[in-house]
Chains A and B, each alone.
Chain A
C-alpha cells in the first residue's frame, strides 16, 4: 500500500469501509428484487413495472461459483503494473441476493487454493495507482484465509 490517498476506482459502486466493505446495489420497492450494478429508473423483472428503488448494501459474503486467473495483460482500460503480475479471479454467488459477482481475488491466493463452493468475503484493494491517488476496487478473499492474511501483516 502506498501513502497516496485512496479513492474508489468506480465511484458509488461500493462502500469505502476498510473492514466491512459492501457492494452498493438497489432493490425494487415493488417486487423487491436486487440489482447490481444499481438500477434506478425501471425494474428489469418482466413481471414488474416498478420505477422506485432503495439503495441497499449487498451481502459481503458468498460462495464460489467458479474461478480462474489472468496470465496475460488485459487491454485498456485495464491499467497494468510493469511488469505485469498475473492475478486470480473469482465468480462468487452472494449469500442473500443469489447473484454471481465477478472480481479479482486478493494477491497471494492462486487457483490451487480455491474450490467451487468455498466461502468468500468482499474486501477493498488496489486496482491501480496514478500520480495522485490509489484506486481501490472490490476483491474476493477466502474467509478461511482472512485470519491468516491478517496474522501475516
Chain B
C-alpha cells in the first residue's frame, strides 16, 4: 500500500428485505457493524458521509447528519450526497477525497433506505417539464427500458429468453447463502420462464424489486491503516462518477428521447464509467477477478459485462453459456447474488457492491468466495446521468 492509498478497513450491512421500519435503524445497524469490523470507535471517526434517500422525508435528505445524530453527535464533519442510484458511490468519493486531501484520516460512509411497494412512481400533479413525469404519463415504466435493452440484444446478437433466465438462475445460486440477501431461493429455468411477462421479453423473476437495506464502509489513510495493523486491507484504486458525454446515445431512464447525434457524435455513458475507473486504477479488464454489476434486469448484466470490458459487444452470451461468469468460472459476475437476490435499496446499493468486493478480496466471502481474488470492479447506474464504477485492489 502506498502512502497515497485509501484503505477499506471495515464493512457492514443490514440485511436486505421489506422490513417496513425506519431507514435510520438499518443505517445505524450497518454502521456499527462496519465500525466493529474496522476496530474503530465511533468517536474516532472524523468525517461521516451519508447517501441521501428521497423517500423517507427530511431526515433522508440530510442522511449524513441523521446518521451522525443517531450514532451520537461527536463533532465529526458531515456530508450528504445524492446521485440517484450512484448516491452511495458519491458519498464514498467525498470521504475518499477528504482523506486524500489530508483533511481527515478515517471516515464512515452509510447508505440506507426504506422503499414503498410496487413501481417507483414520480411526484404528483401535471408536470410536463419533468421528463420522469412525462414518461410515466405516456406509459413508460422502468421495466420498459430494461426490456428495450434486452430485446435489442435478441435482435442484434441472438440472445434468447433462456440466456436471460440463465443469468437469474446463476445469480440466485450465488446469492443463496448470502446472509444479507433478501431472496435466498434457488430458481430453475422453468420457474423463471414460467413467471409472468412484465415487459416482453422480461418476466417478473428477471426484474429487480425494491428493498429496504443498509450498507456502511469505514475507510482511512494508509498511515491510519498501518497504525491499526491493517496494512493489507483492500484499497480503493478508483472511483468513477463521470457524467455522460454529449451526445449521449443510449436510451436512458427517465428520458423519452436521446440526444440528437446528427451534429455531435454519440457516446456510450455506461462504457465511459468503467473506462475512467480503469484509467484511474491503472488496471485493465484482463486484470479483473470479479465484478459486481447493476443487474436491474437479468438481461442488463450481459450489457454490463460488455460495458466494463469483460468481452466485446455481442459476446456476453457466449461467456455466460461457457460458465465464465459463475463462481469458479473465469470472471465471476455478481458473486453476491446481485440485485436479483437483493432488490434495490437505492442509496445503499452501490455501497453494498463495495462491501462484497471487500469480503471477496479479503477471502472472507464463504461459499461465495472467488478464488485468488485480487481486483474487483463495480458498475452501477441511476437516473438523470448518474452512475459509478469503483475498483478495489488487494
Contacts and interface: CB of A to CB of B under 8 A. Distances in A.
Interface residues of A, number: 46
B118 A102 contact: no
A106 to B, nearest CB: 13
A127 B265 CA distance: 34
A35 interface: yes
Interface string A58-78: 000000011111111011111
A71 B198 contact: yes
Contacts of B70: none
Nearest to A111: B200
B97 interface: no
Please classify the interface of chain B as helix (H, G, I), strand (E, B), loop, or mixed, using the class held by over half of its residues: loop
A102 B251 contact: yes
A33 B247 CA distance: 10
Interface in A75-132: 75-78, 87, 89, 91, 96-104, 111, 115-117, 127
Contact of A72 (B136, B198, B264): B198
A62 to B, nearest CB: 11
B152 interface: yes
Contact of B257 (A37, A67, A127): A37
A67 B151 contact: yes
Given A74-B139, A76-B121, A102 B260 contact: no
B198 A77 contact: no
B156 to A, nearest CB: 6
B254 to A, nearest CB: 10
Contact of B155 (A44, A97, A102, A115): A115
B103 interface: no
Nearest to A102: B256
Please classify the interface of chain A as helix (H, G, I), strand (E, B), loop, or mixed, using the class held by over half of its residues: loop
Contacts of B247: 33, 45
A9 B137 contact: yes
Interface string B255-294: 0111111111010000000000000000000000000000
Contacts of A76: 121, 124, 136
A75 B136 contact: yes
B199 A127 contact: no
B152 A102 contact: no
A87 B139 contact: yes
B196 interface: yes
Interface stretch (B30-38, B141-149, B229-237): B141-149
A46 interface: yes
Given A70-B199, A87-B139, A34 B260 contact: yes
Contact of B144 (A68, A100, A115): A68
A102 B246 contact: no
Interface string A119-153: 00000000100000000010000000000000000
B134 A10 contact: yes
Given A65-B251, A68-B200, A31 B263 contact: yes
B54 interface: no
A100 B259 CA distance: 8
A75 B148 contact: no
A98 B196 contact: no
A66 B149 contact: yes
Given A66-B148, A77-B137, A115-B155, A71 B258 contact: no
A35 B140 contact: no
Contacts of A99: 257-262
B309 interface: no
A101 B261 contact: no
B329 interface: no
A56 B287 CA distance: 49
Nearest to B151: A66
A67 B136 contact: no
A37 B129 CA distance: 9
A66 B155 CA distance: 9
Contact of B135 (A35, A71, A97, A102): A102
12 contacts: A9-B138, A34-B262, A66-B148, A68-B199, A69-B199, A77-B133, A96-B262, A98-B266, A99-B260, A111-B151, A127-B139, A137-B138
Given A75-B118, A98-B261, 15 more contacts: A32-B263, A33-B247, A68-B148, A68-B201, A69-B147, A71-B198, A75-B141, A76-B136, A78-B139, A89-B139, A91-B251, A99-B262, A115-B155, A116-B152, A116-B156
Interface of B: 118-119, 121-122, 124, 126, 128, 131, 133-141, 144, 147-152, 155-156, 196-202, 245-247, 249, 251, 256-264, 266
